[in-house]
Copies of this chain bind each other. A is one copy, B any other.
């Protein structure tokens, strides 16, 4: 485990075993599935550590796990309530507070990856002190992040990028990591967001880093390694996003990737939460990624395209994958559907 992983884990949990699980997944009063990616990610990648979900009145999103009150979850062995939703700006709205206090009173710690710190909310701080439970904020970067050096470093690195937020960059990176490990290669998944860190037990919350140091943080996250070692780095945001381009560029230029995979969701026409802003074309994302990425990785190339076809039938998904591959002349797959197309995408990552 890297220094960063150890810093994260120690800071976060104060224990070697990582975050307090099993988890109860908190969905708040969320109405848009795109904001619940933390809950879905934990269900999909570490489902064995999730006992159920806790929703408030008005919510219109579900993970499909059993709906449980905190006391029920605690009785089933849960030790932590994970805030499984991330709204724009990462705040904790007043409507959530009573439910979170209920969880503390039921004996659960609270784990949050939001920008807002749990301990800054007086009601939560008081309830945690009263109950002896912990408020764990994982979106706290490690100390001592330097500015980026831009110096070439050894090892191989693959970055996922995207046409928007919340459309599969983390899933693609996890699936690529799993696929390359299955080939017997030496691979690490490098988490950059709250869900990825909860899944991996390590990582660096890149969008919480002060902007002058984002590239340096990305350099820390994927340090020089053996020439055959591969880091698969979880992308964030999009270069062509009206709010989060800064994060994406710093991560790109600091990661110094040899290759990148563009993640896209067919059928999404507008940037999530930014009505009126059209999704950029995959071609535009490839072009911008190469233009900005070659600053630190002169031979950067697009390995292929990862499509999130979760809302399509198998037939429609296949047609979309084939049409995209033909249009761009690049390996294209839905990593969660796997198959020969995904193996070709893995081949291209290694080319």
The answer to whether A250 and B242 touch across the interface, beta carbons within 8 angstroms, is no
Closest to A237 in B: B212
Q: Bound state CA distance, A249 and B280, in angstroms? A: 16
Closest to A215 in B: B243
Q: What 0/1 pattern do residues 273 to 311 of A give for CB contact below 8 A with B?
A: 010110010001001100110011000000000000000
The answer to whether A88 and B147 touch across the interface, beta carbons within 8 angstroms, is yes
Task: Report B-chain residues with C-beta under 8 Å of the C-beta of A331.
Answer: none
The answer to whether B243 and A148 touch across the interface, beta carbons within 8 angstroms, is yes
The answer to whether B212 and A245 touch across the interface, beta carbons within 8 angstroms, is no
Task: Report B-chain residues with C-beta under 8 Å of the C-beta of A295.
Answer: 240-242, 245, 277, 280
Question: What's the nearest-Cβ distance from chain B to residue A199, in Å?
Answer: 20
A115 within 8 A of B: yes
Q: What 0/1 pattern do residues 208 to 236 of A give for CB contact below 8 A with B?
A: 11111011100000000000000000000
The answer to whether A210 and B207 touch across the interface, beta carbons within 8 angstroms, is yes
Copies held by the complex: 2
The 4 nearest A-B residue pairs measured at CB: A150-B242, A246-B250, A148-B243, A207-B212
Given contacts A207-B211, A210-B210, 9 further A-B contacts (CB under 8 A): A149-B274, A150-B277, A208-B210, A208-B212, A209-B211, A215-B242, A215-B244, A240-B292, A287-B291
24 A-B residue contacts at CB 8 Å?
Answer: A89-B147, A115-B212, A149-B274, A150-B274, A206-B211, A207-B210, A209-B211, A210-B211, A211-B214, A212-B246, A215-B243, A215-B246, A240-B292, A240-B295, A241-B253, A242-B295, A245-B249, A245-B292, A249-B249, A280-B295, A284-B291, A287-B291, A288-B288, A291-B291
Q: Which A residues are closer than 8 A to B by beta carbons?
A: 88-90, 115, 146-151, 206-212, 214-216, 239-250, 252-253, 271, 274, 276-277, 280, 284, 287-288, 291-292, 295-296
